[in-house]
Amino acid sequence: MKLEYRVELPDHYWVVAERHKLIPSVYTVLDIQEDKYRQAEAVTYSGPMFIKIRSSKHDSSTAYSHGKDFDDLMPKPVVVMISDGGPDENPCYRKTVQIIVDHFIKYNLDTIIMVCYASHQSAFNPVERQMAPLSYDLAGIILLHDTFESNLDAQLKTSDEELEKYNFKVARDVLISVWENTIIDGYPVLVKYIEPSEESYCPNEKSAAWMEKHVITCHYMTQVIKYDDSSCYKPFCSGIKQVLPNRFFPPPLLLQQKLHSICTASMGISDNTTHFGGLLLSVLMEGKLTPPGTDLKYFPFD
C-alpha cells in the first residue's frame, strides 16, 4: 500500500477583527551545521527565534515595519531571507525591493537575497513549521480586551484611547510571558513589543543605473550583490564570488541527458529523463545553454 498526499497551506488567514488584534512578526535564524558540507540536511529548520508584537489598532504591519525589524536581527555578509510572499513582504514588490537595497547599503553586505515559496506552498517555509509550537503554547489562553474596563461604547467604537492602550498592554504582556518560556528544538524564543511610533521609515530609491548593476528581481526572488568596481564598496567579506563567479544566482535549468551531451529540456517535458541541475552545475552551464524553441540568449528566472 502506498499513500501519496499533496501538502498545501493558504498563504494568509485574514482575521475578522481587522484592527482589534495583536500582530506577531516571527523571525528565525536558521542554524547551518558546518560539519555537513554538501549535505542538504546541513541547513536545518531550527534556530533562535525573534518575535516582534505590534498592536494593529495603534500600529501596522507593512513592508517598512518589517524593514525596521531587520535592525534587531543578526546581519552577516551573506543574508538569505525567506518570506511568505504576502502583500507586505513579496520579494518582487517595489517597496520590498527598496528596503532590501537599503539593508544592503546600510550594513555593507556582500549580497542579500529575498525569496518566497510558490502560492499555497508556504507550509514548507521553516518559520511556518515553527508556528505550531507557538500556537500550542497559546491553547486555552484568553486575551481579554477589557482588563481595565471596556474601552468601547454601545456602538463598539473606541471611547477611551488611553484605556484601550492599557488593555492592549496587558494582552501583549500575556503573550510575552508565554512565548519567552518557549524552547523550540533547544533554541530560545525572544519576544519584544514594538511601541507605536510616529517616526517613519522610508528609504530613498536608487537610480535605474544603480539597480541595473546590483539587482535582479523576478517573481519569487530579489538579489542584491556588490558590483565588481572595488572603488564603490569595501572588499567582499565572504567567499560568495567563488561560488557565484558571475555574481548573481543562475536561473533554474531543467536539463535532459542525451547520448553525447546535456541539453535543456523543452517546455512541457517532465519525466525521468529530466532534472533540475544543482547550483554548481547551473553555474558551470550558465551562458552555454539557451532556451529551446526560442530566440532568447539567456534563460529567464520566471
* Mean pLDDT estimate for the chain: 79
Q: What is the pLDDT of residue 112?
A: 92
Q: What is the pLDDT of residue 164?
A: 74
The reply to whether 86 falls in a domain is yes
Checking phi first, is residue 30 left (phi over 0); if not, alpha (psi -120 to 50) or beta?
beta
pLDDT band for 258, please (50, 70, 90 cuts).
confident
Q: What is the pLDDT of residue 163?
A: 74
Please, which residues have CB within 8 angstroms of residue 69's CB and are 6 or more apart in sequence?
A: 25, 27, 52
Output 70 or 222, whichever has higher pLDDT. Answer: 222
pLDDT band for 168, please (50, 70, 90 cuts).
confident
State whether 186 and 270 are in the same domain.
no
State whether 169 and 294 are in the same domain.
no
Q: How many other CB atoms are there within 10 angstroms of residue 40's CB atom?
A: 6
Q: What is the pLDDT of residue 277?
A: 77
CB neighbour burial string for 269-281, b if at least 16 within 10 angstroms, e if fewer: eeeeeeeebeeee
State whether 302 and 163 are in the same domain.
no
Domain stop point among 152, 168, 193: 193
The reply to whether 270 falls in a domain is yes
The reply to whether 232 falls in a domain is no
Q: Would the pLDDT of 159 be above 80?
A: no
State whether 263 and 180 are in the same domain.
no
CA 127 to chain centre: 9
State whether 188 and 254 are in the same domain.
no
DSSP letter, residue 265: P
Mean pLDDT of the 44-71 span = 81
The reply to whether 242 falls in a domain is no
The reply to whether 124 falls in a domain is yes
Q: What is the pLDDT of residue 111?
A: 92
State whether 156 and 265 are in the same domain.
no
The boundaries of the domain holding residue 117 are: 22-193
Greatest alpha-carbon span in the chain? 79
State whether 137 and 266 are in the same domain.
no
Domain stop point among 193, 221, 241: 193
The reply to whether 224 falls in a domain is no
CB 77 within 8 A of CB 237: yes
State whether 55 and 160 are in the same domain.
yes
Provide the grid cell at 171. Answer: 494582552
Q: What is the pLDDT of residue 47?
A: 87
- Pick the most confident of 21-35, 38-52, 81-95, 180-194: 180-194
Mean pLDDT of the 227-232 span = 70
The tens digit of pLDDT for each residue in 189-224 reads: 999 888 877 566 777 888 888 998 899 988 888 999
Q: What is the pLDDT of residue 87?
A: 74
Find cell 484568553 and name the residue.
142
State whether 151 and 295 are in the same domain.
no
> What kind and span of H or E run contains 256?
strand 254-257
State whether 186 and 255 are in the same domain.
no
Q: What is the pTM of this model?
A: 0.80
CB 57 within 8 A of CB 93: no
The reply to whether 219 falls in a domain is no
State whether 41 and 182 are in the same domain.
yes
Mean pLDDT of the 131-154 span = 76
The reply to whether 64 falls in a domain is yes
Q: What is the pLDDT of residue 269?
A: 65
Output 244 or 15, whichever has higher pLDDT. Answer: 244
The tens digit of pLDDT for each residue in 272-292 reads: 778 777 888 888 877 777 777
Q: How many other CB atoms are there within 10 angstroms of residue 49's CB atom?
A: 23
CB 111 within 8 A of CB 78: yes
Domain stop point among 147, 168, 193: 193
Q: What is the pLDDT of residue 6?
A: 66
Mean pLDDT of the 16-30 span = 77
CB 145 within 8 A of CB 167: yes
Output 81 or 148, whichever has higher pLDDT. Answer: 81
The tens digit of pLDDT for each residue in 89-135 reads: 788 888 889 989 988 988 889 999 998 887 777 778 888 888 888 88
State whether 181 and 96 are in the same domain.
yes
Q: Would the pLDDT of 147 be above 70?
A: no
Number of domains in the chain: 2
pLDDT band for 239, please (50, 70, 90 cuts).
confident
